[in-house]
Amino acid sequence: MPDQCHSVELPILDISRPLEPSARASLAEACKKWGFFHITGHGISKGLYNKLYSLSQQLFNLPSETKLELGPSSSIKTYTPHFIASPFFECLRVFGPNFFASAQSSANTLFGQQSFEFSEALQEYGSKMTELSKRIVEILLMSLGEDFDKKYYESEFENCHGYLRIVNYTPPKSLVDEVEGLGMHTDMSCVTIVYQDEVGGLQVKSKEGKWMDISPCEETLVVNIGDMLQAWSNDKLRSSEHRIVLKKPVKRLSLAFFWCFEDEKVILAPNEVVGEGILRIYEPFVCSDYLKFRESSERGKFEKVGFTVKDFAGVSL
Ligand SMILES: O=C(O)CCC(=O)C(=O)O
Ligand SMILES: [Fe+2]
């Protein structure tokens, strides 16, 4: 393995069981240091993943003209073609809370009216991810402080919503070394839940600036903290820079579920979360203003770093 890249060891949390005090401490530490951890006990069967995998392959194997009917210049806009995020990246978005309806509107164009298999599978996956996201936010609140889940879940996180990105990476056939499938970025979510297939390629940047592999592991999902929760937690939870590198000339599929605050939400870390005697790092801001800031400062660059939540709402010293 090249010197500049190592695998990172992250805690594995069994989400189906109550949070033990020792797990709470290692989770808090991992979230502060890496902003990434693994979960098991998520209740999603291998069968559902196999189904989503083969349906996604069918979808991305369709001719470009068909996919572009859902592209950025169409009315539905659920498909992002190659050469927007990177030459090797394309994705389809499915929006909650009615994942069935969102998937179906894309499926009608792609596969014709008769197919419900795709929408049903996405409804099942989207609702499971929604439940998981809620549980993860509760657990993260518990890791921040005694009874913080009871104090803050309902008042702060009750109106969160989610969407899914199905991502297909196609590296060049004559891959010599490695290429970036998706460049360095932070997520704008509260939390993101990622399923990556066995190809791997997800990397997180350490605070010292080293790229570390997050290797795929069967039956575990990757969870990462996004900018919204970093700001809300006054940096107790880190939204880390990450990217996808393609090292083999094979396709890679991932499912990334983003759990986000509602657009009109004002993000302000509660005093108790900031902690006594600790400086507040962010000015309060409206969620959608940050999303607009990110869109406008990275035109054509798709979530490139350089304009993140600290640049937007960081307290000037
Ligand atoms: O493809 C992946 O594994 C993760 C993609 C990602 O980081 C993103 O879509 O924000
Ligand atoms: Fe990401």
Q: Write 274-283 long-range contacts (CB < 8 A, 24+).
A: 274/234, 275/234, 278/234, 279/315, 280/234, 280/315, 281/231, 281/234, 281/235, 281/310, 281/314, 281/315, 282/231, 282/234, 282/309, 282/310, 282/313, 282/314, 282/315, 283/313, 283/314, 283/315
CB 40 within 8 A of CB 13: yes
Q: What is the mean pLDDT of the chain?
A: 92
- The C-alpha angle with vertex 227 and arms to 122 and 26, in degrees rounded to 5, equals 90
pLDDT tens readout for residues 10-40:
999 999 999 999 999 999 999 999 999 999 9
**Where residue 1 falls among pLDDT bands split at 50, 70, 90?**
very low
Q: How far is the CA of 194 from the centre of ligand 1 (A)?
A: 7
**180, 191, 211, 244: residue to mutate for ligand 1 pocket, most atoms within 8 A of CB:** 244
Higher pLDDT residue, 224 or 301?
Answer: 224
The pTM score is 0.95
Structure confidence at residue 67 (pLDDT): 96
CA–centroid distance, 271 to ligand 1, in Å, is: 32
189 lines ligand 1 (CB under 6 A): no
pLDDT band per the 50, 70, 90 thresholds, residue 158:
very high
**Given this model, what pLDDT does residue 113 score?**
65
CB 316 within 8 A of CB 301: no
Q: Select from 92, 89, 91 the least CA-distant residue to 245.
A: 89
Name the residue with higher pLDDT: 3 or 116.
116
Q: What is the pLDDT of residue 250?
A: 94
pLDDT per position as a tens digit, 250-283:
999 999 999 999 999 999 999 999 999 999 999 9
- Count Cβ atoms below 10 Å from residue 280 Cβ, excluding itself: 12
More confidently predicted of 256 and 296: 256
Residue 149 pLDDT exceeds 90: yes
Give the residue whose CA is nearest to atom 7 of ligand 1: 243
Distance 253 CA to ligand 1 centre (A): 10
Q: Is the CB of 194 under 6 A from ligand 1?
A: yes
* Bridge partners for 181 per DSSP: none
